[in-house]
Structure formats: structure tokens, C-alpha cells
Structure 1
Amino acid sequence: MAALAPSPDTASGIARELQANCERPFEDARAMPPRVYTSEAFLALEQREIFRKEWLCVGRASSLSNPGDYLTAHIDGQPVVVLRDEQGTLRGLSNVCLHRMSVLLEGRGNVRRIVCPYHAWNYALDGTLAGAPMMDRQPGFCKESYHLPSIRCDVWQGWIYVTLNADVPPVATQLDALTQLIEPYGMTDYVETFHEAHVWNTNWKILAENFMESYHLPMLHRATVGPHSRLDEMECPPGQPAFNYHWITKEASLPIGNAHPDNTRLQGHWRRTTALLAIYPTHLVTLTPGYFWYLLLQPRGVGQVEIQFGGGLSPEFINDPQAANYMATLKTLLDEVNAEDRRGVEAVFRGVHAPLAKPGNLSHLERPNYDFARYVAQRTATS
């Protein structure tokens, strides 16, 4: 008896609809179908096939410069902590106590030991159990048998990545082509000067797609960067399996948007070129000759996304006497731009629920969105 076709409302049905949509050539490409953004079942499929299997960026290594410095994140339902141990090594660990399974650490900070807030079981920075109050009265308890499970942790260009997948190739291997593209910038040495966490009411992919294209700049950002955005200056080459990107070469509206006079790494047009990088699935970076800013995304259901938002300066601008003023001006602008983006992506999330919502043709400036859709389709493909 032939197997029944999956319902269009199931994750597999939505995945097939997306795959069919992505089979169009780019010249006739469409936006992703609405249910890709609204279906809880499809998000569960994404969590299983993307978030549990891919490298996920969680922050800058320079933010964990001292022993005991840590940051926290989630991989689907798995709380993770990344910290600098006493030997200066970055470690990824499960952020769940081995006693009654409380989450151990929240946010970012510095600790001498990882202390459970529930019963005070505490762990050394390498994850070994260092103390467990009164447990010596239990004959079956063996402290040496407890060690927080390790999480794979890797660093690329100054960024920390984690994964639950033991078999995925190293980050540098996956991003070798991107390393070659952006090598002149020297992004590893850029210094983070601010970090914030936010939650927006939209689907994670809508926010990712918003970052990937500059077609919306003249309209959505008409009160900020829109008047300085010339669409004819933008190049959107075909993406790669692990990332997409586009370029803008221009005289920047902010002094730090172009290379500092002391910058000897960048030559010619590179001194005026901004790279917008989307590293799948959730690492988004605007890299200019003088500064960078980024978003890291973690879904909270289909309708909310947790955002790690940060940025900083290139080494030459960090050493400039006006560094503080430059960064303050940039942060003010980015806050205004983010407010505009939030209104835009939350409006899109409301719109994709409409009964008459239908995906339209993509612009030639939305090539990154086309490549991202094909990435999601490939990862969620069902037989």
C-alpha cells in the first residue's frame, strides 16, 4: 500500500513546500512560504536538524580574557556555559548541575567556582566536582565520578562556536572560503566594546533574512542610514554552503566606517568596503575597515528570538585618542537602526500569519535570502 503524502501542515509537508519553492532559479526566486515562519512543528524540525547539528556562535573570545570569565547560551534545550579555565583554555560545558539538574550559571560574569544555586554543589573551572555539602554521609556517593559533560568548543577569527555534534568538521574548515575573503580585515584583532541581550517578537529566520539584504535600507532606515545607502553600490555574489555575504564599497558616513590612516593591512578599495556576513545558521556580522557589529540569534519558539547584540572597533581605532567618542557615536546610531529593524521584522511576523499572505519575487539584492532559504531547505529535507 502506498504511503500517504504528508499533510501540508506537518513539518515534512512544510519542508517539501520549501524545497519546491527553492527549486526555482534565482531569476524567478520567491520568498519562503509563510508556514516556514509560523509552524511549531517546523521549528522542532529546525532544532533537530540545524541547531543540534551545526556550529553555533555564542560570542567573542576576547570577552572571556581572565580565568573564570564565562558566558552562557542554549543549544535547543541544552544550557551551555563557555568559560576560561585556570590554564587559560576555553572550555564548553553542560550548564546543568549533576545533582538535581538545576541550571548553574546565568548570563555572563566571572566565578572562581561554578556553584549550583540550589544545593551548593560546586565545580572547578574544568568541570570536575569540587564540593558537595554533606554528601560524605552517603556511602554510595563518589565525588570523583562527577564531571560536567564537555561541549565541543572552537574559535574562528576571534569568535567562539559550540556544537553538540561530535562529527561536524572544525569551524575553520567549514569557513575556509570566508577566511580567504575577509583576511585583509584582520577581524580576529577587533576589540568588542559593548554587548547586550534583547528579545524581539519575530521568527529567528525573519530577523536573519533582514540582516542579509540591504534592499530595505532606503525605506525602513530612511531616518538613519537610508539616505546614505546607494543600492547600486551593493554587490550580492552567490553564497557558499556555510555562509552568504554581500559588499558595499563607499565613503562611509561615519569616520570609523573607512580604514584608519594607521591601518596598513587594507589597500585600495578594501579601505572603503563593508562586508555583511551571514554565517549559518545564526551568526550575523557587519564588518567594516574600522568597526564591527553583530547579532547572534537563539529561537524562543516561533514568535520570539533572543538576540546577543555587540560590537567594537578595529585595533587602529581602539588606539585612537578619539576612540570613546567614535564608539559612542556608533552605538547611538546602531540603537536607532535596531529600533527600526525591530519594527520591520515584527511587522513581517504579524504579516506572515495573514490568511492571504503569499511569498513574492525576490529582488536581485536579495540573493543572500535565496541562498539562506536553500540552506534551510537542505537541512530540513525529508525523504
Structure 2
Amino acid sequence: MSPFFLNDEFFDSLESSIQEIEHANTLPPLCYTDATFFDFEKRALFDHEWLCVGREDWVPNPGDFYTTSVVNEPIVVVHDRDGTIRAMSSVCQHRAMLVAEGAGNTRTFTCPYHHWVYNLKGDLINAPAMEKTCNFHKETTGLPNFKLEIWHGFIFINFNNSAEPLAPRLTALEPILANYEIADAEGPAPDRDIQYSFSWKVMFENNNDGYHANRLHQGEYHDYIPSELAKFPESLPKETAGFYRTNGTLHKDASFNPTQKALMPIFPKLNEEERNRMAFANLPPSLSLVLTCDAVIYLILRADGPESHQLDLGVLFAKGAMDDPDFDKKMEMVVERALDINAQDIHVDELVQKGLRSRYAPRGRYSWQEGAQRQFNTWLVPRYRAQWEKMKRKGQ
């Protein structure tokens, strides 16, 4: 590892990013651009934080599977015949060939290279012509399984099998999410594996940034959700694994479509306050939720490099919404508006990434309307510092 940022001075400087918003600075630009820092970040975050890899309803039936990846680790998620959803490495334990591609339904995973066969638990059940190989044991040569937890229908994995459970660290989000009943919500197939050439943190910050909302998206796109009605919780539990903000709307039942009002059925348990605002819930480093009165948009971010990531993008509606004979027409209107807003966001994200590479890229100051960025920093910085302290103890 290059030592240029591995020093106490650098990590002490990050503390200014978690001060109160009126005093805080943005993170150093190298945190978004540098390959060596990304290697450090994988150890600080991705090796032991909970990572969203999909939805339970992506594998509704026994034998259903899909493949994905996070920080370039190939993963297969499968609905086992016993009803259990499992996630495991899709790397064959013979010569590292991938045993699964895409999605489908299967009884086993067969390596196409040498036909080693694994069951849906990852156990190796057939390895042709290995009978002469010394000290080879099928029972200890299965696909590595990952710790898995399902939260509101979202599938999370952890590469650290000793990790503490996720759900107890998300209690701060429950009052915001409860009335949407996301676990039972339904939606069309998501757009998956969208590739972007900017840091996952650039997109995560943009998803949570109320400051730009009716500036970049001014006019019919966002004026009915003004930035000055953004609210941030005064405090969150120190060990929280997620954070949120809310944003008042200028009319009841506002939603992202050309009519600016709900097209789909309202989530039936929403109260009056919830129908007069939107909410944005965030579970770094991999899941952002946009909650409106009739839709929950989810973004699953999958980092794969210092300046690139992949995205799975989907939308959920109240149970029964897809039975409406006009659902496809309404969905077309929702997608139309989403694509317009997304195009504006992606354009600025790409330009921000270019700017972050500049020798003149600053550690800027925040507006009060960027409170969610400070929340993100208060999640990131202690984890960066903990990894640095660990490295110092080990003399790395």
C-alpha cells in the first residue's frame, strides 16, 4: 500500500467532515478517486459491513437463482429446495471458473469447465476423475457461503461470518419505513447491472442530497418538493447502520410522475404526515430508498472500483397495484419522469467525478440542506479511522 494517506494527520483531518453541519467540510477528493484508497476502503467497509445484493422476490420459487457481484466478488443467490434463501461464492473451488451466470431455475450448479457439481447449499456432490488426487475431500470443498439477513424484503450479505446482526442496528429507520410495508410490496423486474463511471460515494451522496433537488431539477420535476422543506433527525444512535431525511411537499400525495400526484394506489397505512412528505432512507454502502406516497424507489449500489460502480434500480408499489388494467400505462409515466430526472443526476455525477480528479478540487463547505451528507460522513469516518487504527496495531 502506498503510504501517502496512511498517517495520523490524514485521518485526523477527516474529523472536520463530521462536525456539526455549519462547521463541516467535505471529504478529501482522493476518497473518491484513488485506487489505493479504494483498496483501503474495501478493508474498512466492504469486508465486514452488510451489503444489499437484491430482493427476496427476485427468487420466489425453489431453485430460482440470480448472480451478482460486489467489489468484484462473484455471488450467486438461490432459493433452496428447503425454502431457505442462500448466498454463496459462485467461484468453482477447482480452477476458479464461475459456476453460474445470469438468472434462472436449477437443481444444481455445474461448473461448465470440468463439470464439478454443487447442490443448492453449495456442497460439492460430484467431481469427475478426482479419485487419484491425494488428500482431496468433497465434503470440505464446497462453495463458500455468506452470512445472510433479510430486512424488509431486501437481501443483505456479509463477507464476515462473525458480523453482528443487521436489523438491531436499523431501529432508527423503522418509524420511517413501517407504514410502507415494503416486505410485501410488489413491482416489475428491476433494471440490473447498470454501469456508471463514477464513485459509488458520488452517487450515494447525490441520492441523499436535498440541496440540489429543486435547483438541478427545477421546474415541473421537483418544485413541488422544495429543498427548504428538508428535515434531518437531530441525532441518531451511534451504532446505527442507516440514516434518513424527510422532505415536505407542497401538496398531499405528491409523487414523481408528470401529474406530480399519485398514479398508483396509496400505501394504505400511511398517515396524514407521511402523505404530505417524501422520505429518503439510506443504508450505506449499498442501499438507498426514495419513499413516496405510492412508490418506493430502491437503488442497490455495487462498488467495483475507485471510480466506478454498478446499480440495480427498481420500484415497489402497494400490494395489488399491478392488478390494475392500466398499470402498464401508469408505469410508463412513472418511468418517463424517472428517466428525465436520472439523466440530469447522471450528467452532474459524471462531471463531479471529473472535478474530483482536479488539483483544484476543494474540501468544500456544506449548506444546512446537505445534512444527509454529514450523516453519511458520520457513518464513513469512524469506519475509516477504525481500519487505520487496526493497521497501526498490526504494523502495516
Please list every run of 5 or more consecutive structure 1 residues that lacks an aligned counterpart in the other structure.
Answer: 1-5
How far residue 129 of structure 1 moved from its aligned partner, in angstroms, is 1.8
Q: Do the aligned partners of residues 117 and 222 (structure 1) sit closer, same or farther apart at CA in structure 2, a change above 3 Å counting?
A: farther
Name the aligned partner's letter for residue 173 of structure 1. Answer: P
How far residue 12 of structure 1 moved from its aligned partner, in angstroms, is 4.2
Aligned length: 378
How far residue 163 of structure 1 moved from its aligned partner, in angstroms, is 0.2
Spell out the pairing of 1:61-100 with structure 2 (5 A cutoff): 61-100=56-95
Tell me if 1:272 matches 2:276: yes
Contact between 2:75 and 2:89, CA under 8 Å: does it hold in 1?
yes
Residues in 1 aligned to 2:302 and 2:360: alpha-carbon distance in whole angstroms: 29
Residues in 1 aligned to 2:359 and 2:194: alpha-carbon distance in whole angstroms: 30
1:355 corresponds in structure 2 to 359
Name the aligned partner's letter for residue 176 of structure 1. Answer: T
How far residue 157 of structure 1 moved from its aligned partner, in angstroms, is 0.5
Query: 1:143-178 deviations in whole A, cap 9, x for unaligned?
Result: 344322211111000100000122322221111221
2:35 corresponds in structure 1 to 40
Name the aligned partner's letter for residue 66 of structure 1. Answer: N
Relative to the length of structure 2, the TM-score reads 0.87
Quick one: percent identity of the two aligned structures?
29
Which SS does the other structure have where 2:146 is aligned? strand
Counterpart of 1:313 (choices 317, 321, 328) is 317
How far residue 277 of structure 1 moved from its aligned partner, in angstroms, is 1.0
Contact between 1:239 and 1:368, CA under 8 Å: does it hold in 2?
no
Name the aligned partner's letter for residue 237 of structure 1. Answer: P
Q: What is the alpha-carbon root mean square deviation over aligned residues?
A: 2.5
The more displaced of 241-250 and 278-287 is 241-250
How far residue 258 of structure 1 moved from its aligned partner, in angstroms, is 4.5
Q: Do the aligned partners of residues 313 and 74 (structure 1) sit closer, same or farther apart at CA in structure 2, a change above 3 Å counting?
A: same
Q: Do the aligned partners of residues 188 and 358 (structure 1) sit closer, same or farther apart at CA in structure 2, a change above 3 Å counting?
A: same
Name the aligned partner's letter for residue 377 of structure 1. Answer: V
1:215 corresponds in structure 2 to 211
Counterpart of 1:235 (choices 216, 231, 235) is 231
How far residue 214 of structure 1 moved from its aligned partner, in angstroms, is 1.7
Q: Do the aligned partners of residues 256 and 158 (structure 1) sit closer, same or farther apart at CA in structure 2, a change above 3 Å counting?
A: farther
How far residue 218 of structure 1 moved from its aligned partner, in angstroms, is 2.0
How far residue 87 of structure 1 moved from its aligned partner, in angstroms, is 1.4
Contact between 1:257 and 1:272, CA under 8 Å: does it hold in 2?
no
Contact between 1:224 and 1:333, CA under 8 Å: does it hold in 2?
no
2:393 corresponds in structure 1 to none
The more displaced of 92-101 and 246-255 is 246-255
How far residue 189 of structure 1 moved from its aligned partner, in angstroms, is 1.1
Contact between 2:179 and 2:267, CA under 8 Å: does it hold in 1?
no
Contact between 2:166 and 2:241, CA under 8 Å: does it hold in 1?
no
Tell me if 1:200 matches 2:204: no
How far residue 62 of structure 1 moved from its aligned partner, in angstroms, is 0.9
Residues in 2 aligned to 1:266 and 1:316: alpha-carbon distance in whole angstroms: 16
Tell me if 1:28 matches 2:27: no
Relative to the length of structure 1, the TM-score reads 0.90
The more displaced of 149-158 and 251-260 is 251-260
